[in-house]
Amino acid sequence: MDLTSKHTSPVLTEPAPMNKSRLGIHPAILPYSQSGGSFPPSKYITIPRKKSGKFDDVWSNGWLDAMKSSSPPRKKLIKDFDVDFPSDDDTDVAYSSWMLKYPSALNSLEQITSYAKNKKIAVFLDYDGTLSPIVDDPDCAVMSNAMRCAVRNVAKYFPTAIISGRKREKVSELVGLTELYYAGSHGMDIVGPVGQTVLNSHPNCIGSTDQQVFGTLVKKTKDIKGAKLENHKFCAAVHYRNVDEKNWPTIAQCVHDVLKDHPRLRLTHGRKVLEIRPVIDWNKGKAVEFLLESLGLNSSEDVLPIFIGDDRTDEDAFKVLRERNQGYGILVSPMPKETNAFYSLRDPSEVMEFLRGLVRSQKKKVVGGGGEEGGKQRIG
């Protein structure tokens, strides 16, 4: 993990593998300003603050509230608190009314594909919670063969990229398809499919890997039962999904202490995970813009980018699409959530159906002579 670099750019520490073309890193790196990814605590639960003094830092900076609302609330997690959890009926009503604002992408497939009629679709997919269901152990988050097949078919017709918080090599191993673009570490590390032209390479790439911050995190959290750390090379993940909730302040405080000593690092919240990354203006949204530009898909009239994701870090990409007034963000969520997305899907199985639908409609277009010269839409 390279977290302490003095370089002001997301960095590449290794040469691109021979069979991969590295797309590189966007040079426009600005001091980070907090945008997207920051949400008010869940409207469903308010957990009473425990007065301790010891963890004032993480209470006052809102980390603990964010941690408690970082994944759909489960009854078992809040049974100890005096909260009024909505009944299943209430939840259905709330979801239905939320869907008036964020309609189902599945039900809107015809509308989406007809809007895309004379446009090139580009598909951007998050991994965890989008292509694979959320599970307790990050190492067991495997993608089904059916989903793999759906993604493979999508990539036959549309330029397709996976944009993940995970280490790029890890997510590409989990997906296992060589024909895709992969952006790991929240877009800080990008490669193209086998044989694809190298589009860019940032001159400030550095060749060292700094293990110090990760080592400190490991040391500080080693006695917290259930804590799990992942080194994503350009960022790090501290999981608390399997940590007893009474120890969440402790784990938050450990991370807080490390960040205090490293002002060039910042925190973002994912689903029961604290993510530590460099203070640079780079996120999944920037990665989408970078890929669109690199692939010659920047024209807003001709290109329809679709980004599907479930997490707070995906909001940066949804926001970019909204601001460009181009394409659609699709939030994967089984419950109402504040979002910059345009459409919604309930879970990975609906994502798979949606991807299959996109392929079906493209096949029809090709057979019907809708303007495409064969399978895959031409890039650039």
Residues β-bridged to residue 192:
21
Whichever of 37 and 120 has its CB closer to ligand L263DTV3, that residue is 37
Whichever of 116 and 123 has its CB closer to ligand L263DTV3, that residue is 123
Residue 263 near residue 282, CB atoms below 8 Å: no
In angstroms, what is the minimal distance from the CB of 370 to ligand L263DTV3? 33
In angstroms, what is the minimal distance from the CB of 175 to ligand L263DTV3? 10
Whichever of 132 and 294 has its CB closer to ligand L263DTV3, that residue is 132
Tell me the per-residue interface mask from 52 to 91 with ligand L263DTV3, x by CB under 6 A, - otherwise.
Answer: ----------------------------------------
Amino acid (1-letter code) at residue 351: V
Strand runs (DSSP E) across 103-232, as ranges?
120-125, 160-163, 181-184, 189-192, 228-231
Contact set for ligand L263DTV3, span 148-177 (CB under 6 A): 164-166
Residue of 150, 188, 229, 273 that binds ligand L263DTV3 (CB under 6 A)? 273
Could you tell me how many residues of this chain bind ligand L263DTV3 (CB under 6 A)? 23
User: What's the burial of 45, exposed, middle or buried (CB within 10 Å: 0-12/13-18/19+)?
Assistant: middle
Distance, in Å, from the CA atom of 54 to the CA atom of 62, rounded to the nearest integer, reads 15
Whichever of 97 and 242 has its CB closer to ligand L263DTV3, that residue is 242
Query: Can you tell me which residue has the tokens 């709330």?
Result: 94
Q: Is residue 237 at the binding interface for ligand L263DTV3, with CB under 6 A as the rule?
A: yes
- Which segment (99-107, 110-118, 268-276, 322-330) binds ligand L263DTV3 by CB under 6 A? 268-276
Residue of 2, 65, 230, 350 that binds ligand L263DTV3 (CB under 6 A)? 230
311 belongs to the catalytic site: no
Compute φ and ψ for 364, nearest 5 degrees: -60, -40
Contact set for ligand L263DTV3, span 107-136 (CB under 6 A): 126-129, 134-136
Residues β-bridged to residue 104:
344
Instruction: Give 69's contacts (C-beta < 8 A, 6+ positions apart).
Output: 39, 41, 42, 45
Q: Is residue 274 at the binding interface for ligand L263DTV3, with CB under 6 A as the rule?
A: no
Whichever of 185 and 377 has its CB closer to ligand L263DTV3, that residue is 185
Catalytic residue among 65, 126, 189, 310: 126
| Integer-rounded Cα radius of gyration of the chain | 21
Distance, in Å, from the CA atom of 291 to the CA atom of 199, rounded to the nearest integer, reads 9
Distance, in Å, from the CA atom of 17 to the CA atom of 24, rounded to the nearest integer, reads 13
Closest to 176 (Cα-Cα) out of 211, 159, 153, 151: 151
**Roughly how many angstroms between the first and final C-alpha of the chain, as a whole number?**
33
Applying CB under 6 A, the residues found at the interface with ligand L263DTV3 are 126-129, 134-136, 138, 141, 164-166, 230, 237, 239, 241, 270-273, 275, 311, 313
Active site positions, annotated: 126
